[in-house]
Amino acid sequence: MLQVGIDVGGTFTDLFAWDEQATGTNRVRTAKVLTTPNDPVIGFMNAFSSAGIDPSEISTIIHGTTIGTNALLERKYPEPALVTTAGFRDTLEIGRQRRRYLYDPYQVKSRPLISRSQRFTVSEKLGADGKTVKPLDREEAIRVAEHIASLGVKNIAIAFINSYVSGRHEQEMRDIILERIPDARIALSSETRPKIRELGRFVTTATRAALFPVVSDYFTRLEDCLAEAGSTAKLFIVKSNGGMMRSSTAKERPEELIASGPAGGVAAGAFLSNLLNTQNMIVTDVGGTSFEACLMENGRGLITDEYEFEWEMPIIAPMLDIRSIGAGGGSIAWIDQGGSLRVGPQSAGADPGPACYGRGGSRPTVTDANLVLGRLNQTLSGKFQLDYDAAVAAISTLAEPLGLSVLDCAEGIIEIVCENMAGAIRMVSTDRGRDPRDQTLVAFGGAGGLHAYRVAEAAGINRILIPPFAGVACAFGAATMEVRHDLEATFYAPVKGLSPSELTLAFTKLEKECHELLENDGIKPEKITLERNALMRYIGQSYEVATPVPNGELNTSILDEIAIAFHEVHEREYGVSSESFGVAFVTLRVTGYGQIVRTESIDLEAVMGASNQINALSVKDHRKVYFGGKHYKVEVHDHTLLCNGQQINGPAIIEQADSEIVLPLNALAQIDKYGNIIITNEEQVNQNGSYVTTTEEGVL
């Protein structure tokens, strides 16, 4: 039986399948097909056909999707209603009253997730201690519920002030609504994410309510389509925290899917980190629409608690700290009002796609530039024929007004998009106090290898790793994931004077809830692993850092150890710490893990590893490629014929099944036994007397 990972991106739908019962190279099947934006289910099923997979052969499917993200960004969802405490109707719109652009008098705020006409208030108030200050006004609540019913709204968010302490007023309001709208889908902030700071809690609850119908409809149609095709596979969905959950759970917790797609790439990075014992990585993914970057430490991606998908719209569920920008193969190049060349964030997407796709696109894109420069196979690795002349014509529309040749304009496009990508890398490294020079850049995505060397150079990274499955990395990563749930609760208490038993009791409650979620997703109790963390801060600070907490019964000495650990984490994150200030707990978090798929059975060396026959010939062709204002005749290597220990000097091209790797001048690639390509700067290596520097003998 097959375990299958499928990632539906903005341009391509990728598939990676592992067959435990097959032998040799037959154990792996991959596919990359065009995404079908109008109905992603069609592209999803097309991937099976392309890989030659009968759905009845599949035991487990793990699916990464951007369905929730796209719905939010495009505001394409049945608009929900929001019921909140009197006086807080406009919290979603007011935000934190920060200006995104300090000196821009014409800036416009993003449209709130729920318009003002759909936001309602009722009189109620709980104190910060959970005691009732003002009971819920039932008559007013009934009038609000009846009004919502008259609007025909079925997805509703309820977010009362201070309900992070107690959800009893929200539950009372829910009961009143259900009496009038029995089939309503209702999100309570006290159940969605019971944390202090109302903006994040309100936005996250509104997100859940908005996505209820979108996500439920999509997964239900997908489940029905799979069943009709004869599949009995368990369907899991990739979560923003780097784990997965059953599709039935995802329908109830859709706000946890915001970074579902790129999270698969981080899981692939975790697999490689464990395989190669490489601890510090920056995982990047270049697709058709976007570029994502995430820093990994000790084999895991860093987590953020304040992810903003738009300005002043924080999602406060724990998520991988993935920075995404509009920079991919389909990113459109254009000239701004000042006459400067720009690239992205607009994208040609899958439809119509880059000009060279011949599907109606006419604007110049990054893919067009790579084709014109000779860096891209004109058959896109055998998938379909690219139109070289159309790419030239598209780039000419920029080259002429800029006074550049088509080739120099195309190279300028690549330089700009690579600098943009390097900027995203700095956001996850230097912005969090990590030195890029200590990291290995892991390049994923169909376009990752095309730009990896130049991006690493711009970001100051000296080592690049490109695995054999780079073109379908998010799908591969999905196939290696484990079920994961993060549960949180506000627990504000200074460490000094805190009762350890009180803290233990609060963690135990979260652990019980986490166990229930994992068991509902099919994890046996004995297979569950739990971890504790606390979001802590110095008393008087506004924001927290996640600090590890030991499992089991806590005591006073352990509390002292937790405080010491907090100082260490604070020092790492911000460069300073001080034992002169008191330390407080703010939020408790329990993370639960459970393995469904058998990742230990995936033997990359057996099915994708490089040959040990050093005499094997990997050069399949030669190609004219433009680098730095000159044409070079370069060797094109077939990745499947590379040898363990083989070295390739740039300029050169390495073709994989789903991606292409560009080695400019001074790049040196080495192949390991797993088929991974490790790229370094040859001049740096030569300083140690190891290799000869690149000459220009290949210049045409």
pLDDT of residue 695: 37
Average pLDDT, the chain: 90
94 Cβ neighbours under 8 A, 6+ residues apart: none
- Token digits of residue 75: 């505001």
Distance in angstroms (rounded) separating the CA atoms of residues 354 and 390: 9
Q: Is 449 exposed, middle or buried (0-12, 13-18, 19+ CB in 10 A)?
A: buried
Cα–Cα distances in angstroms (integers) from residue 363 to residues 193, 264, 344, 409, 652, in the given order: 43, 30, 12, 14, 28
Q: How far is CA 421 from CA 285, 323, 333, 452, in A?
A: 10, 10, 15, 10
Q: Which residue has the higher pLDDT, 23 or 111?
A: 111
Q: How many CB atoms lie within 10 A of CB 600?
A: 9
Tokens 């059975």 appear where? 601
- Return the domain boundaries, the chain: 76-204, 489-509+527-588
Helix (H) or strand (E) holding 122: strand 119-122
CB atoms within 10 A of CB 230: 11
pTM given for the model: 0.86
Give me the mean pLDDT over the 367-384 stretch: 87
Which residues are bridge partners to 315 per DSSP? 307
Check residue 281 and give its pLDDT: 93
| Mean pLDDT in residue range 658-683 | 89
* Structure tokens belonging to residue 7: 């990632």
Q: Could you report the per-residue pLDDT of 303-312, keeping only the tens digit for each?
A: 888 788 888 8
Distances (CA, A) of 419 to 152, 325, 393, 556: 49, 12, 25, 50
pLDDT tops 90 at residue 113: yes
What is residue 255's DSSP assignment? G
pLDDT of residue 56: 93
**Neighbour-count burial for 521-551, b at 16+ CB within 10 Å, e otherwise:** bebeeeebebbbbbbbbbeeeeebbbbebee
C-alpha–C-alpha distance, residues 636 and 676, integer Å: 17
Q: What is the pLDDT of residue 25?
A: 62
pLDDT tens readout for residues 139-179:
999 999 999 999 999 999 999 999 999 999 999 999 999 99
CATH architecture of the domain covering 76-204: 3-Layer(aba) Sandwich (3.40)
What is the pLDDT averaged over residues 488-499?
94
Q: Is the pLDDT of residue 387 over 90?
A: yes
What integer pLDDT is reported at residue 261 of this predicted model?
81
Name residue 594's beta-bridge partners: 483
Q: Tell me, what's the pLDDT at 607? A: 62
Mean pLDDT along residues 522-549: 94
DSSP letter string, 260-325: HHHHHHHHHHHHHHHHHT---EEEEEE-SS-EEEEEEETTEE-EES-EEEETTEEE-S-EE-EEEE
Structure confidence at residue 149 (pLDDT): 97
CB neighbours (10 Å) of residue 92?
Answer: 25
H or E segment to which residue 500 belongs: helix 500-520
Please state, in angstroms and as integers, the Cα–Cα distance from residue 526 to each residue in 236, 267, 521, 537, 594, following that order. Answer: 21, 23, 14, 34, 9
pLDDT at 341 over 80: yes
For residue 133, which amino acid is it?
V
Q: Which pairs count as long-range contacts for 24-27, CB under 8 Å and 24+ apart, including other chains?
A: 24/606, 24/607, 25/607, 27/606, 27/607
Asked if 173 contacts 136 with a C-beta cutoff of 8 angstroms, the reply is yes
CB 239 within 8 A of CB 319: no
- Encode pLDDT of 421-474 as tens digits: 999 999 888 888 888 889 999 999 888 999 999 999 999 999 999 998 888 889
CA 36, 39, 44, 50 torsion-angle sign: negative
